[in-house]
Structure 1
Amino acid sequence: MGDNSKKFISSDELKKHNKANDLWISFQGKVYNVTDWAKEHPGGDIPLLNLAGQDVTDAFIAFHPGAAWKYLDKFFTGYYLQDFQVSEVSRDYRKLVSDFSKAGMFEKKGHGVIYSLCFVALLIFACFYGVLCCDSFWVHMLSGGVLGFSWMQVAYLGHDSGHYQIMTSRGFNKFAQILTGNCLTGISIAWWKWTHNAHHVSCNSLDYDPDLQHLPLLAVSSRFFQSLKSHFYGRKLTFDYMARFFVSYQHLTFYPVMCVARVNLYLQTLLLLFSNRKVPDRALNILGILVFWTWFPLLVSCLPNWNERVLFVLVSFCVTSIQHVQFCLNHFAANVYVGSPKGNDWFEKQTSGTIDIACSSWMDWFFGGLQFQLEHHLFPRLPRCHLRKISPIVQELCKKHSLPYKSLSFYEANVWTLKALRTAAMQARDFTDPAPKNLLWEAVNTHG
């Protein structure tokens, strides 16, 4: 009798509610209307829009603790999904989440945060000491490298604080986010959350994942040559002559571009903070950015001449580029697709779009846990100290369901990435007919 009193809709009917002004989603077969709440969603509206009109149970479980379920009741439409089904791989995935939760793994964060904070403080002190108290050119350059290395470690702390609470309270955790992101690196935590949540939900979708949208400088797939529309940025990624020129040599320019990639992150931060978009804690984020753009220029100005100042900045950027390269290695050579993410193949999409970096356990601090990229994508709330422990379990589950588990050495991952970039570069050179014989000549004469 209870079932007869329920109201049902089909998956096809649910798909019709997939717009910003009519946004329905399903959790565990129950249908919710989150249209008005999407803008208030702590993770931003992009993840909800990308998964609109679908059952998104796996994604919800991945990003939210069990306590979050109670907040859904006020959005319940009264409808249930008539053809709701759970695949075997989703059942196994949800069981793993449940097992990890019962074991308290999401709450047990170890002492990594304390060690990392102390290490970062030591690095920053060493950098300031080298700049302010030494006259040697080489000490100044070494200090720039130390600063770049500290930015790498700070970024891992900011990443962790954005995914789960690394401090004792939400207030202190927000303070850690602003400190590590805005104040120490000049990159807004609000910008990071905006892009990173979209990346997790739409992992390696060419038109939905912002982490793959780097035209005109880079294109990981020839499908970008069709001038795809970015659903994240809301504009066309135009593949014009200039983009074609840069992409044609991207396997040669990849590392130089990574050395100055930080400049783009600063620019993206400013564009978001001073845009018309709703930005959580906008004033606090702007204040944090002002702190960075106060202490960093002052530190650089303490160097004796402009040659050393420019080289100091370049050295710090080049060292930090190791981390930018690492992030590219995790995804650039993995499988890609065009289209919106689907809620019913969460596990499959994460395994397809990620590559782990194999390393010894004593190197875990260097990669910040993100060498276990698949494990992190499947369980983003899981503290990094557990990722190595669960890796064999994830491998077994992938093997059980005949899904890929790609793990490469740092060197191998670089080779794979360069091969992927070179393949797209060669395709870019032959994309149009007739193909220019000298792309450098064409770019200079076309654009001046």
Structure 2
Amino acid sequence: MADNMKKYITSDELKKHNKPEDLWLSIQGKVYNVTDWAKEHPGGDIVLLNLAGQDVTDAFIAFHPGTAWKYLDRSFTGYYLEDFEVSEVSKDYRKLATQFSKSGLFEKKGHGTIYSLFSVLVMLFACFYGVLCCDSFLIHILSGCLLGLTWMQVAYLGHDSGHYQIMTSRGFNKLAQILTGNCLTGISIAWWKWTHNAHHVACNSLDYDPDLQHLPVFAVSSRLFQSLTSSFYGRKLTFDSFARFFVSYQHFTFYPVMCVARVNLYLQTFLLLFSKRKVPDRAINILGILVFWIWFPLLVSYLPNWTERVLFVLASFCITSIQHVQFCLNHFAANVYVGAPKGNDWFEKQTSGTIDIACSSWMDWFFGGLQFQLEHHLFPRLPRCQLRNISPLVQELCKKHNLPYRSLSFLEANMWTIKTLRTAALEARDMSSPVPKNLLWEAVNTHG
């Protein structure tokens, strides 16, 4: 009798509610109006807009703890999804998530945070000591390298704190984010959240994932030659003669650009923090950036001459570029697509657009857990110390549903990435054919 009293709408009707002023979502077949909530959503409004008008159960499970379910009722419309269905892949994914939750894996964070913080403090002390207390040119350059390694570990801590609490409370966790992101690296945690959440939801969508939108410098697919409109930035990704020139040589410029990629991250931080866009905790983010731009130039100024100062900064940037390269290896050579992400193929899209880096367990600290990129994308709230443990279960699920699980050595991943960039570069040089001749050719040649 209760079921007869329920009100239903179809998926087609739900799709009509996909605008900022009219934003509905379905979770486990119940329809919610999140129009007002989108403005306060901790993960930002873009992730909700990208999935607007769809059932988003898998994405909700991936990003939210069990305590979040109780807050949904306030947005319930009273409607249920009439044609609500769950694929076999989603059923298995949800069973796995429930299994991890019941066994407490999301709460078992290990001692990785303590070890990382300790290593950061030791490397920072050694770096400052080398600059301030030594006169050796070699020690100064090695100090720059140590600073680069420090920034890598700090970035992993910021990443962890952004996905789950590494501290005892939300307040201390936010403090950790500002310290690790803004104060120590000069990269705003607000900017990172803005782009990173969109990347997770729209993994490897050429027009929705900001992590693939690098024109005019890089293009991972010749589909970008069509000057797609970025849904994230709200502007056209213009492929003009300027972009054609740079893309034509991108397989040669990739590593040199990665060595100075940090400059772009500083620029993006300033563009966001001083934009008209609503930025959570704008004031404290700006204050944190100010801290960085006081201590870092001051440290560099203690070096004896401009030659050593420039080399010190370049050494720190070059070491950190290993991490920038790693981020590219995880996605550049994977499959891409055009269009908005869909809520009903969450597992499939993550496996399609993600590549793991195979390494020994003693190297986990170096890669910060992100070598298990697929595991992280499927379960972003899972502490990094658990990713290696769940990897066999993810592989088993991929095998069961005939989905790709790609785990390459660091060298192999580099080769795949360069091959992808080279393929797009050669196409960019073909002035008579700036777009793919056919989809089969694109699939065979672009993705390795």
Q: Do they fold alike, i.e. is TM over 0.5?
A: yes
- In structure 2, the partner of 1:224 is 224
Unaligned 5+ runs, structure 1: 436-448
Q: Distance in 2 between matches of 1:18 and 1:256?
A: 41
Deviations 1:167-200 (A, max 9, x none): 0111110010000000000000000000000000
User: By how many angstroms is 1:209 displaced?
Assistant: 0.1
Corresponding residue SS for 1:26:
strand
- In structure 1, the partner of 2:306 is 306
Percent identity of equivalent pairs: 84
Cα separation, partners in 2 of 1:294 and 1:10, compared to 1, 3 Å: same
Corresponding residue SS for 2:311:
helix
Deviations 1:294-319 (A, max 9, x none): 00000000000111111110110000
Q: Distance in 1 between matches of 2:179 and 2:308?
A: 27
1:45 aligns with 2:49: no
Alignment of 1:296-335 (within 5 A): 296-335=296-335
User: By how many angstroms is 1:431 displaced?
Assistant: 4.2
- In structure 1, the partner of 2:104 is 104
Q: Distance in 2 between matches of 1:314 and 1:228?
A: 34
- In structure 1, the partner of 2:442 is none
Deviations 1:26-60 (A, max 9, x none): 00000000111111100000000000000000000
- In structure 2, the partner of 1:30 is 30
Deviations 1:105-135 (A, max 9, x none): 1011000000000000000000000000000
Alignment of 1:226-305 (within 5 A): 226-305=226-305
- In structure 2, the partner of 1:425 is 425
Question: Contact (CA 8 Å) 2:161, 2:176: kept in 1 or not?
Answer: yes
- In structure 1, the partner of 2:338 is 338
Amino acid of the structure 2 residue aligned with 1:11: S
Corresponding residue SS for 1:381:
coil
Q: Distance in 1 between matches of 2:89 and 2:101?
A: 18
Corresponding residue SS for 1:172:
helix
Deviations 1:334-374 (A, max 9, x none): 00000000000000000000000000011000000000000
- In structure 1, the partner of 2:443 is none
Q: Distance in 2 between matches of 1:20 and 1:432?
A: 41
User: By how many angstroms is 1:432 displaced?
Assistant: 3.4
Alignment of 1:102-181 (within 5 A): 102-181=102-181
Corresponding residue SS for 2:396:
helix
Q: Distance in 2 between matches of 1:164 and 1:300?
A: 34
- In structure 2, the partner of 1:353 is 353
Corresponding residue SS for 1:334:
coil
Aligned length: 435
TM normalised by structure 2 equals: 0.96
- In structure 2, the partner of 1:401 is 401
Q: Distance in 2 between matches of 1:384 and 1:416?
A: 25
Amino acid of the structure 2 residue aligned with 1:349: K
- In structure 1, the partner of 2:446 is none
Corresponding residue SS for 2:24:
strand
Q: Distance in 1 between matches of 2:100 and 2:367?
A: 23
Q: Distance in 1 between matches of 2:60 and 2:250?
A: 37
Q: Distance in 2 between matches of 1:213 and 1:126?
A: 37
Corresponding residue SS for 1:4:
helix
Q: Distance in 2 between matches of 1:426 and 1:432?
A: 12
Q: Distance in 1 between matches of 2:76 and 2:108?
A: 33
TM normalised by structure 1 equals: 0.96
Q: Distance in 1 between matches of 2:214 and 2:125?
A: 35
- In structure 2, the partner of 1:213 is 213
Q: Distance in 2 between matches of 1:264 and 1:38?
A: 29
* Runs of at least 4 residues off by over 4 Å: none
Unaligned 5+ runs, structure 2: 436-448
Q: Distance in 1 between matches of 2:254 and 2:166?
A: 34
